[in-house]
Copies of this chain bind each other. A is one copy, B any other.
Amino acid sequence: MITVVGHTAIDHICKVPVFPERHGSVPVTDHKVYYGGGAANIAAGIAKLGGECELLSAVGDEFEGSDYDSWLTSLGVGKRFIVVDGKRTATCFLFNDEKGDQMTFFEWGASRAFAESEPPALDFVHMATADPGYNVKVAEKAGFSSFDPGQDLINYSKEQLEAIIENIDILFANHHEVRRMTKMLGVQEDELIGRIPVSIITMSGDGSEIHAEGSVHKIPVVPVTLADPTGAGDAYRAGFLTAYQKGYDILTACKIGTVSASFTVEVIGCQTNLPDWKTMSARYNENFGRLKEPETE
């Protein structure tokens, strides 16, 4: 069982011709609602790949019985929800203008409840972006844990980040996040990476770099037609974690993550185009050679 901790959120993605001036009004020419939130994206990805997982999120009292709730149920995601009365599930309002610029308004809503909650001790847990204090406690209590800081790095104190780094087994981050973490901790990149057993650094179109046991490996991206990069990191983590828990070695698990991400970026929405294991395997075979069963130790 993989537990994923963090946001379950509703993403409103809107197109506008331009952004409004102060006191101005602009028309929204397109508005679509997508299922999102880093933790929920990862849990959905794992479940779709056939992994056993549960999602530890704080949600509003409107969530139960919603379309999103039913969607998670249909995927087989186990729900370990903190239900917050009178609060809305975290909501992201995203406005894209015609020049390709983006403005994001993120409402934590029910996710604020993490701050006052006491996490359980978990065997195998991934911490996606959410409350720093809660994540520190999760990391301290966990058996095996992985972490991605996402856009919430700004909310972490140096001490909180130190405590996370101290306790995790795997770090997932993109190169911007790695740079930010080195600044926050006042260390070089090598030193940061040296503190964690495995670091998986994604570099957009340049693929990913895996640091494990003193060696570095690079894995290229799977070439696809890009529609929307949002959710690529979450899909990568879903693929990796599913494979890793099945017993695959780290490099194969990273390739499975890369292949999983390639589906997500082909379509708008983080959970719109999640592959099942068979679909993922077929694309894996085309790009990395035949995917075998994991070797049993």
Contact = CB atoms under 8 A, between A and B. Distances in A.
Nearest to A93: B93
Given A20-B104, A28-B106, A31-B109, 10 more contacts: A14-B105, A14-B107, A22-B102, A22-B103, A23-B102, A23-B103, A25-B105, A25-B151, A31-B107, A93-B93
Nearest to A155: B27
Interface in A80-99: 88, 91, 93, 95
A214 interface: no
Interface in A1-41: 14, 16, 19-20, 22-28, 31
A234 B88 CA distance: 29
A101 interface: yes
Most buried by B among A95, A105, A107, A108: A105
Nearest to A31: B107
Given A25-B151, A151-B25, A105 B95 contact: yes
Contacts of A104: 20, 24-26
Chain A: interface size category? 20 to 34
Contacts of A105: 14, 16, 20, 25-28, 95
Interface of A: 14, 16, 19-20, 22-28, 31, 88, 91, 93, 95, 101-109, 151
Contacts of A20: 103-105
B88 A31 contact: yes
A107 B105 CA distance: 17
A204 to B, nearest CB: 14
Contacts of A28: 91, 93, 105-108
A67 to B, nearest CB: 11
Given A14-B107, A107-B14, A101 B31 contact: no
A103 B88 CA distance: 22
A105 B103 CA distance: 12
Nearest to A99: B22
Contacts of A151: 25
Nearest to A22: B101
Contacts of A108: 27-28
Contacts of A16: 105
A194 to B, nearest CB: 31
